[in-house]
Chain A
């Protein structure tokens, strides 16, 4: 499991470096295309989806841990995915960047992004102490 920790640190450094040089953002691609028909970041999103779709089976063939078994959608999980997805989309546009982009902006000195990250990490604790218990009581 420590392999995972080291690998995730290295992976983070690599994508952080490339993300800073390219201004990559997973929501700004769609936003820029609607606003000014700029496809620079949309191409990045499309490439991410396409390369992932090709590489997951390849990694499985090469002996990687990619069995591709996912939970079957049921009403509750579909509902949560839709609400969660919509929320991520709307509020990421409002704050001008997806979580990945906010990490990059914070690291290059944006005070707004640093405040965002503080809220982001506090939000995790709020979710697991308040929101998730409440939802599981209401929905299940």
Chain B
């Protein structure tokens, strides 16, 4: 009978051995994001424009601009989908990722090491993203929806990534 025997591993050992939080592969995340993006855009009024289900740049722009418009009665551009009420994708991502980080014990505040550089790069990515009408996520989404311009933007983004990565590696190994 095993009832009287001590447990083979103690409780702290067990919890240390078990990975905290569920594990999701990149492949699974890609599938889930595509399903969510298509469903939001086609069935849940996240649009027009077409293929607007997920866009970190455009939805962030819509949120900021509609808040500013209502506060200061300015007339900044918002997408038709966000005219009545702003899209909250960016807020949702922050909530979801925060919940995932806290439940898995991965939340840790780290003071910014390069605050000014990060700020400027953020502003640059937003501006280039709005030029191409989409962040990297929406460029991929538009490509899969059959938008030629989206595909052109996606290919340009991929070329930009390749060039910047090779450049970065050259500088690091020189």
Q: Which residues of A contact B (CB under 8 A)?
A: 1-24, 26-27, 29-31, 34-35, 40-53, 55-56, 59-60, 64-73, 77-78, 80-95, 98-100, 102-104, 106-129, 131-132, 135
- Cross-chain contact A89 with B157 (CB below 8 angstroms): yes
Contact among B65, B114, B119 for A125, CB-based, below 8 A: B65
Contact among A13, A44, A115, A132 for B118, CB-based, below 8 A: A115
Hey, which chain A residues are within 8 Å of B137, CB to CB? 26, 48, 98-100
**A99 vs B92: C-alpha distance in the bound complex, in angstroms?**
14
Q: Classify the secondary structure of B's interface with A.
A: helix
Total count of chain B residues near the partner, CB < 8 A = 124
**A11 vs B41: C-alpha distance in the bound complex, in angstroms?**
10
Report 18 cross-chain contacts, Cβ distance below 8 Å, ordered by A residue.
A8-B92, A18-B33, A27-B136, A30-B158, A34-B166, A34-B169, A50-B144, A83-B128, A87-B124, A91-B121, A99-B126, A99-B136, A103-B90, A108-B108, A112-B115, A115-B119, A116-B121, A123-B125
- Cross-chain contact B54 with A34 (CB below 8 angstroms): no
Q: Which residues of B contact A (CB under 8 A)?
A: 21-47, 50-51, 53-54, 56-57, 59-61, 63-65, 68, 76-77, 81-101, 104, 106-133, 135-137, 139-150, 152-166, 168-169
Hey, which chain B residues are within 8 Å of A15, CB to CB? 32-33, 36-37, 54, 92-93, 96
- Cross-chain contact B45 with A56 (CB below 8 angstroms): no
- Cross-chain contact A69 with B50 (CB below 8 angstroms): yes
Hey, which chain A residues are within 8 Å of B64, CB to CB? 121, 124-125
Contact among A41, A42, A104, A115 for B122, CB-based, below 8 A: A115
A-B complex: 7 closest residue pairs judged by Cβ atoms: A12-B92, A89-B160, A16-B96, A84-B132, A87-B128, A85-B156, A119-B122
**A4 vs B29: C-alpha distance in the bound complex, in angstroms?**
22
Identify the interface centre among A11, A17, A50: most chain B CB within 10 Å of its CB.
Answer: A11
Contact among A2, A16, A122 for B84, CB-based, below 8 A: A2
Q: With A47-B31, A73-B148 as known contacts, state yes or no: A103 contacts B37, CB within 8 Å.
A: no
**A1 vs B59: C-alpha distance in the bound complex, in angstroms?**
14
Hey, which chain A residues are within 8 Å of B53, CB to CB? 11
**A17 vs B156: C-alpha distance in the bound complex, in angstroms?**
29
- Cross-chain contact B144 with A88 (CB below 8 angstroms): no
CB distance from B26 to the nearest CB of A (A): 3
Contact among B32, B46, B60, B142 for A18, CB-based, below 8 A: B32
- Cross-chain contact B115 with A115 (CB below 8 angstroms): yes
Hey, which chain B residues are within 8 Å of A24, CB to CB? 26, 29-30, 33
